[in-house]
Amino acid sequence: MENEEQQQREFLEKMRHSASHVLAQAVLKLYPDAKLGIGPAIENGFYYDFDLVDPLEESDLKRIEKEMKKIIKQNLPITQVTMKRKDAEEYLKKTEQIYKLELIEEIEGEELSFFITGESEFADLCRGPHVDTTKDIGAIKLTKTAGAYWRGDETKKMLTRIYGTAFETENELNTFLKNQEELENRNHRKLGKQLELFALIPEIGQGLPVWLPRGYVMRRIIENYMLELEENAGYLHILTPHINKKELFETSGHLSFYKESMYPPMEVDDETYYLKPMNCPAGMMVYNLSQKSYRDLPYKLGEFGTVYRYEKSGELHGLQRVRGFTQNDAHIFCTPEQLEDSINEVLDLLDVFYKDIGFTKYRFRLSLSDREANPKKYAGDLERWKQAEETLRKVLIDREVEFEEMPGDAAFYGPKIDIQAVNVFGKEDSVSTLQLDFNLPDKFNIRYIDAEGKEQEPYVIHRALIGSFERFFSFLIETHGGDFPLWFTPEQVYVIPISDKHHEYAKKVYEELDNAGLRVRLDDRTKSMQSRIRDAEKMKIPYIVIMGDKEIETETISVRTRKNKSEGLMKVQEFIDNLKEEVRTKEPFTPEGDN
């Protein structure tokens, strides 16, 4: 079964790679002056980069797609040929393919591989593999265009990238496109704007998101939740400055191996400071403020610390990839005997957190060393590494969770567990991490006194349940599609009077709900009732309370849920009690028709 799945994946990759060649062929047919970049298969599709004289319009994509389908229908053979380097250079100069000429300079050997479609209709520099004929490509669809710097280098020319996808059958293609449409509806950037959660303001800076009032309400609720969860587990919380002296990062090693991702230094009073890229060095300094004995361990320091890392502008993406973000950091200092229990406690907290937040599907990835092959790659003592890796593996096995081992993926300073949350369409994102560190304890001389009065180096666990709030919220928004569980949704209730004569009663109900601790808004604007209801639905408000003559007469409220379902007339206190129970149990929202 596994072999069949592997073969299927390999065939799809070949098919999509071949589709990218057909795309290039179609573009050259319609735009003979186009210059070709590269065109690989990617997850769920393919792309090709072009240097075009004029920008493409939406109608141009349809035209290119139509030409691609003509080529596919011809059932043209796709065959591999080799050319001597000199012949290849002459051919590419003759066809004025300047980007391909640049590529062959980096290819070793005198024989260069090309793939030809048809007799001689189209030839492209490529090592393959490809399907046998264009008819094997199946159902295709061009999806979008984007700008892409040649070779990903911002100093080079911006090319036009055309994206597409290909599946064996039309049914598979249509299912994929339908899912993509739903994914776009859940896009955190689109929903973030619609629901007024965050903004990226150019005048403030690229990659520096601003939390708007509604988004900050959510963030503050989850911060307070996490603070209480960690305090109940024995964590002590600190807050360290946004800038630190150069000497701290020299000690930690960041200036020698991480400087390119750090912002430039600041000179103040003959001292050099940096915006911190990580909270860890300052956390080590806090630990060292007083001597610790084995009786003080495990010692658990938590911090909601904001860090800054320079990311290239082309890699910034909504809340997923930013330059300033706040981490739900923690550092656990423990003895070897406490290591297993400490790891289990972190995973116990994670189980509670994921359940409450509504993440029901997640996988574990265990990143290990390959010390035998690369003994000089890793910091720390070999035996301590072995114990750490064996303990991480044992914990995951004992908990009977699905996990994948990744030899060679460990950081140089220690093995780790990454938690991959899976969204409703099966897309994975790394959300939480648990990382052992054998580097910083040594650099900062982190020690404790054992039962025999001897100095020992503790195990140090870096742990981030939320990871960064920014990246976490991008996944949270897309997972729930903006329909958040009641306990952390920005506003829980909108109160809407039908007309002016119902305002007084509406205000009285609003005050009762507000006094009960519910997040409520009174919408008594002059707009029509239906218009105000539509506004509430657009903002995905869980409950809409409407009141008119009947509600005033019976001293009730008419309740409507975001499922567009009427709950009928209800006493205000009954409504309050129902919502408080929903908040207490952290009940997830289930759209109409879902189980």
Give the chain's radius of gyration (CA, Å): 29
Query: How many Cβ atoms sit within 10 Å of the Cβ of residue 155?
Result: 7
Confirm whether 492 is a catalytic residue.
Answer: no
Confirm whether 327 is a catalytic residue.
Answer: yes
Which listed residue (331, 471, 502, 519) is catalytic?
Answer: 331
Signed CA dihedral, 398, 340, 418, 12: sign only: negative
Confirm whether 329 is a catalytic residue.
Answer: yes
Q: Is 433 helix (H, G, I), strand (E, B) or coil?
A: strand
Q: Alpha-carbon distance 213 to 224, whole Å?
A: 16
Q: How many CA atoms lie within 13 A of 390 on its CB side?
A: 7
Confirm whether 280 is a catalytic residue.
Answer: yes
440: CB partners within 8 A, 6+ apart:
252, 280, 281, 284, 413, 446, 460
Which listed residue (25, 97, 320, 327) is catalytic?
Answer: 327
Q: Report which secondary-structure segment, H or E, holds 381.
A: none
Which listed residue (14, 21, 186, 280) is catalytic?
Answer: 280
| Alpha helix (H) residue ranges in 31-169 | 58-73, 85-94, 98-104
Which listed residue (21, 254, 309, 323) is catalytic?
Answer: 309
Structure tokens at 549: 């003559």
Q: Is 426 helix (H, G, I), strand (E, B) or coil?
A: coil
User: Closest Cα to residue 209, out of 304, 144, 306, 124?
Assistant: 306
Residue 358: phi, psi to the nearest 5?
A: 95, 20
**CB contact burial 74-98 (16+ within 10 A = b; e otherwise):** eebebeeeebeeeebbebbeeeebe
Q: How many CA atoms lie within 13 A of 72 on its CB side?
A: 25
The CA distances from residue 52 to 101, 103, 150, 157, 445, in Å, are 17, 19, 13, 11, 58
Query: At residue 266, what is the residue type?
Result: M
User: Closest Cα to residue 280, out of 321, 322, 252?
Assistant: 252
DSSP E strands: which ranges in 215-297? 236-237, 243-245, 266-268, 271-275
Angle of helix 2-30 relative to helix 58-73, nearest 10 degrees, comes to: 110
Q: Alpha-carbon distance 150 to 315, whole Å?
A: 14
DSSP string, 66-82: HHHHHHHHTT-BEEEEE
| Inter-residue long-range contacts of 308-311, CB under 8 Å, 24+ positions, other chains counted | 308/242, 308/262, 308/263, 308/275, 308/276, 308/277, 309/261, 309/262, 309/277, 310/260, 310/261, 310/262, 310/263, 311/207, 311/261
CB 282 within 8 A of CB 319: no
Torsion of Cα atoms, 8 then 12 then 13 then 15, to 10°: 140
Query: At residue 234, what is the residue type?
Result: G
Confirm whether 309 is a catalytic residue.
Answer: yes
Query: Distance between terminal CA atoms of the chain?
Result: 30
Q: Is 453 helix (H, G, I), strand (E, B) or coil?
A: coil
Which amino acids are annotated catalytic? 280, 309, 327, 329, 331, 416, 462
